[in-house]
Amino acid sequence: MSYSTRVAPGELVVIDSGPLGAPLVREIHRRVLAAGAHPLVNITLEETQEALLREGSDAQLEFLSPARVEEIETADVRIVLEAEENTRTLFAADPSRQTVHKRARKVLGDRLFERSASGELRWLVTLFPTQAAAQDAGMSLVDYEDFVYRAGLLDREDPVREWRELAERLDRVAGWLDTKDELHVVAEGTDLRLRVGGRHWVASRGFENFPDGEVFTGPVETSVEGTVRCSFPAAYHGRIVEDAELRFEGGEVVAAEAARGRDFLEEMLALDEGARRMGEFAFGMNEAITEFTLNTLFDEKIGGTMHFALGKSYPETGGRNESALHWDLVCDLRAGSEVHADGELVYRDGRFLDGLF
Amino acid sequence: MIDARVERLAELVVTYALELGEGQVVRIDGFDVAAPLAVALYRAALHAGAHPYTHLTLDGLHELLVKEGTDEQLAYVAPSQWREIEALDAQVTIWSETNTRSFGRLDERRHGALIAAQRKLSNRRWERIAAGELRWCGTLHPTNAHAQDADMSLRDYEEFFFGACHADTPDPAAYWRSLSATLQARAESLAAVRELRILGPDTDLRVGVAGRTWIAADGKYNLPDGEVFTSPVESETEGEIRFTFPAIFNGREVEDVRLRFEGGRVVAAEASRGEAYLRELLDLDEGARMVGEVAFGLNYEIDRFTRNILLDEKIGGTMHLALGAGFAQAGGANTSALHWDMICDLRAEGEILADGELVWKDGSFVAPLDVAVAGERG
């Protein structure tokens, strides 16, 4: 509360969570009150989403509730707690119906990003550990809770100070990357070139995601060339795509393969014009996250990884890609990788070389 | 495992009570513990072609707000809430508590401030309902807290509750349509009555109802339902009444309430327990001492007192009076921040005369109706 969202008196704080997040919702509610602000809690159910995707007509899939539309416009702070009961609730949902639903909701995502970029709204996505998330991570709940708290540096003596220190380091990396134009990433199955000149690198320091720890930008839309192989499975809306391999030409995905979930991958790529383009490129730099847990919020921050998002870019990076999609795919760079910036080797096996910034 | 009774209740709310149609926007309000009914309502609304969405919160948050919030926070209504009220075609409220006494120790004044802020929203809701722009239905999802208040196990309480809704039968809507005809006929038969006289133990009360409209509560606004009610002539309540069931307001109980009326106003009030609270509420405002509602409970599936007004006021064979606000649609003119239903058991003894003629004895109307009767005790 004091670090991530900095809630001020009189502000409207909208809090979304699944029912299992109740203990954390209550604690946040209490602190929002103590900060003199107005909490508005919305408990969302996985089953209604399942019912909508399974049984709704196109008109119903496209419907935006007045609550959602108004909250996006009036909230000062928006907090989303992931607290899933079953991460595969939407596994059997028809991807084409998801497409209809996602397209209609694009306007909400756009407004969120716009208001956030212009400083009118702060948002935060975080997670409350549940059995479902632990199971996806291949852990007991107890071990997973430890993992989550370590990832948030909450096991440290002074977490806020630790986050400030990490933020300073991320700022330096982002400032240095701002001076670069062409990036060339080489790893197993990956040989990717992209241009980032004129775009802005953002240090993601625990304000919008918690835990956090990455630097990201929006690459020049037409500049991405080559192949990339995503070594980690990518979970998205209850579906999983394994071992995705994408080939880019002129900034667009022209070929896509996957060991599992290829149909879903194709469906998402066909969502709209911008879904085939890279809206975000980023380096994960949270050294306290070392394990893959099949949850993007954590996986994309793993120290020594890179990720890119298909679809919409964040306006504050200067990225201009438009899409209803924003799907992060993560590649492990910790073993056998190199990144060159404007022809110079700057990153090897998951780390930036010493003495660069 | 989905309880078929929950699905039938949801279907009943959507098709019978709200009559949801294509493209209508419906919000489902409640607590997270009501998720099974919320999901069933959501699905039933989808099947009706409507646009449902849930508006669920957690128990305990209001208590926290009353306990720790500033006056400004207590009075706050989010702008989105105002705009939603205008945008909705229908709304369902699911009452479903995890602890019915969680407001028991809170500061009354601060709790009152929260209720007053929320009343601004609900007043607008009732305006839109009265104008025919919005449909609303309130129902319940059984929890252990409600069962405990009823001195029952959850399993028994579920049986009791779904029975009262007739959701334990294959076609509850058919039952409610038939009961609706019965209640309408009962309401019409009372239309010409000028004065009711209620006689029972320590009770001899005259209530003027001339010119007022009797309304059949037939499952459109509440489920379960089953009563006929009106708002009496404000100045014409005279005599004494003793309420056999505890009178409950905001989770606080007042036992064995005895009231004496003169010229429509309570002039003496006693209770065996909670008398101070009774007096406090009577002094709430000008209208709190006047009767805003008189009604007959006619749901004979509800055969016991369970400390929940949704059910208690409909107990077959009882009648109830409400102190405070009357109903404009019944011709009532009394205004008050209070609307406190008090229930009088007339099942074992007690008679009601209408303009001097015996109309009610031993818990039911004496004259049969000329319609296919559902729900009346035969």
Using 50, 70 and 90 to split pLDDT, how confident is the model at A1?
low
Each residue of A212-256: pLDDT tens digit? 999 999 999 999 999 999 989 988 887 889 999 999 999 999 999
Alpha carbon distance B11, A129 (integer Å): 35
Alpha carbon distance A30, A202 (integer Å): 31
Q: Are residues B112 and B230 in the same domain?
A: no
Q: What is the mean pLDDT of residues A153-163?
A: 92
Range of the domain at B243: 174-365
Which of A10, A19, A60 faces B32 most closely, judged by CB atoms?
Answer: A19
Hey, which residues 53-72 in chain B have their CB within 8 Å of chain A?
53-58, 60-61, 64-65, 68-70, 72
Select from B147, B170, B193 the last residue of a domain: B170
Q: Is the pLDDT of residue B117 over 50?
A: yes
Task: Tell me the CA distances in angstroms from B266 to A298, B132, B160, one per residue in order.
Answer: 65, 35, 35
What is the Rg, in whole angstroms, of the alpha carbon atoms belonging to chain B?
Answer: 20
- pLDDT at position B376 is 56
Output the domain CATH number for residue B91: 3.40.1830.10
Alpha carbon distance A129, A81 (integer Å): 10
Using 50, 70 and 90 to split pLDDT, how confident is the model at B378?
very low
- pLDDT at position B1 is 67
Select from B170, B201, B217 the last residue of a domain: B170
Whether residue B224 is preceded by a cis peptide bond, meaning omega within 30 degrees of 0, is yes
Q: Are residues A186 and A122 in the same domain?
A: no
Which residues touch B155 (CB under 8 Å, ≥6 apart)? none
Q: Are residues B292 and B187 in the same domain?
A: yes
Which residues touch B372 (CB under 8 Å, ≥6 apart)? B178, B181, B182
Q: Are residues A103 and A169 in the same domain?
A: no
Collect all residues from A whose CB is shorter than 8 A from any CB in B.
10, 12, 19, 22, 25-26, 29-30, 33-34, 36, 38-45, 47-48, 51-52, 55-57, 59-60, 63, 65-68, 70-71, 74
Q: Are residues A250 and A317 in the same domain?
A: yes
Q: Are residues A113 and A176 in the same domain?
A: no
Q: Check A51 against B39: CB less than 8 A apart.
A: yes
Q: Is the pLDDT of residue B334 over 80?
A: yes
How many structural domains are present in chain A? 2
Select from B142, B170, B198 the last residue of a domain: B170
Pairing of strands B90-95, B135-140: parallel
- Residue A29 with chain B: CB contacts under 8 Å: 61, 64
Choose, out of A16, A47, A86, the residue to mutate when testing the contact with B (most B CBs < 10 Å).
A47
Q: Are residues B208 and B343 in the same domain?
A: yes
Quote the minimal CA–CA distance from A26 to chain B in Å: 7
Alpha carbon distance A210, A124 (integer Å): 7
Q: Are residues A267 and A195 in the same domain?
A: yes
Q: What is the mean pLDDT of residues A159-183?
A: 94
Q: Is the pLDDT of residue B374 over 60?
A: no
> Per this entry, what is the length of chain B?
378
Q: Are residues A79 and A163 in the same domain?
A: no
Residue B33, in any domain of the structure: yes
Q: Are residues A93 and A228 in the same domain?
A: no
Q: What is the mean pLDDT of residues B229-234?
A: 97
Which of B35, B73, B80 faces A33 most closely, judged by CB atoms?
Answer: B73
Q: Check B64 against A44: CB less than 8 A apart.
A: no
Q: What is the mean pLDDT of residues B192-213?
A: 96
Residue A1, in any domain of the structure: no
Residue B370, in any domain of the structure: no
- pLDDT at position B375 is 56
Which of B42, B58, B65 faces A22 most closely, judged by CB atoms?
Answer: B58
Which residues touch A77 (CB under 8 Å, ≥6 apart)? A5, A7, A11, A12, A13, A14, A37, A121, A122, A123, A124
Q: Are residues B111 and B200 in the same domain?
A: no
Residue B374, in any domain of the structure: no
Q: What is the DSSP letter of B14?
A: I
Q: Are residues B195 and B324 in the same domain?
A: yes
Residue B372, in any domain of the structure: no
Range of the domain at A72: 12-128
- Residue B35 with chain A: CB contacts under 8 Å: 19, 45, 47
Q: Check A22 against B68: CB less than 8 A apart.
A: no
Q: What is the mean pLDDT of residues B157-185?
A: 96
Quote the minimal CA–CA distance from B299 to chain A in Å: 33
Q: Check A65 against B25: CB less than 8 A apart.
A: yes
Residue A104, in any domain of the structure: yes
Q: Are residues A176 and A78 in the same domain?
A: no
Each residue of B258-307: pLDDT tens digit? 999 999 999 999 999 999 999 999 998 999 999 999 999 999 999 999 99
User: In 3-state terms, what secondary structure has residue B299?
Assistant: strand
Residue B377, in any domain of the structure: no
Which of B35, B68, B78 faces A19 most closely, judged by CB atoms?
Answer: B35
What is chain A's percent helix, strand, coil content, to nearest 5?
35, 30, 40
Give the DSSP H/E element, type plus range, for residue A79.
strand A77-82
Which of B64, B72, B80 faces A30 most closely, judged by CB atoms?
Answer: B64
How many structural domains are present in chain B? 2
Q: Are residues B307 and B233 in the same domain?
A: yes
Q: Are residues A106 and A242 in the same domain?
A: no
Q: Are residues A238 and A100 in the same domain?
A: no
Q: Check A29 against B88: CB less than 8 A apart.
A: no
- Residue B76 with chain A: CB contacts under 8 Å: 38
Quote the minimal CA–CA distance from B97 to chain A in Å: 15
Residue A149, in any domain of the structure: no
Residue A267, in any domain of the structure: yes
Q: Are residues A118 and A189 in the same domain?
A: no
The C-alpha angle A169, A172, A174, rounded to 5 degrees, equals 110
Residue A33, CB-side half-sphere exposure with 13 Å CA sphere: 23
Residue B97, in any domain of the structure: yes
Q: What is the DSSP letter of B17?
A: I
- Residue B79 with chain A: CB contacts under 8 Å: 12, 70, 74
Q: Are residues B146 and B237 in the same domain?
A: no
The C-alpha angle A142, A143, A147, rounded to 5 degrees, equals 120
Residue B59, in any domain of the structure: yes
Q: Are residues B134 and B157 in the same domain?
A: yes
Choose, out of B80, B94, B102, B128, the residue to mutate when testing the contact with A (most A CBs < 10 Å).
B80
Q: Are residues B229 and B329 in the same domain?
A: yes
Quote the minimal CA–CA distance from B49 to chain A in Å: 8
Q: Are residues A108 and A163 in the same domain?
A: no
Q: Are residues B159 and B180 in the same domain?
A: no
Q: What is the mean pLDDT of chain B?
A: 93
Pairing of strands A190-195, A182-187: antiparallel
Residue A6, in any domain of the structure: no
Q: Beta partners for B254? A: B247
Each residue of A33-55: pLDDT tens digit? 999 999 999 999 999 999 999 99
Please name the amino acid found at residue B230: T
Output the domain CATH number for residue A80: 3.40.1830.10
Q: Check B78 against A66: CB less than 8 A apart.
A: no
Q: Are residues B17 and B46 in the same domain?
A: yes
Alpha carbon distance B99, B147 (integer Å): 11
Q: Check A43 against B83: CB less than 8 A apart.
A: no
Residue A140, in any domain of the structure: no
Q: Are residues B189 and B274 in the same domain?
A: yes
Q: Check A33 against B87: CB less than 8 A apart.
A: no
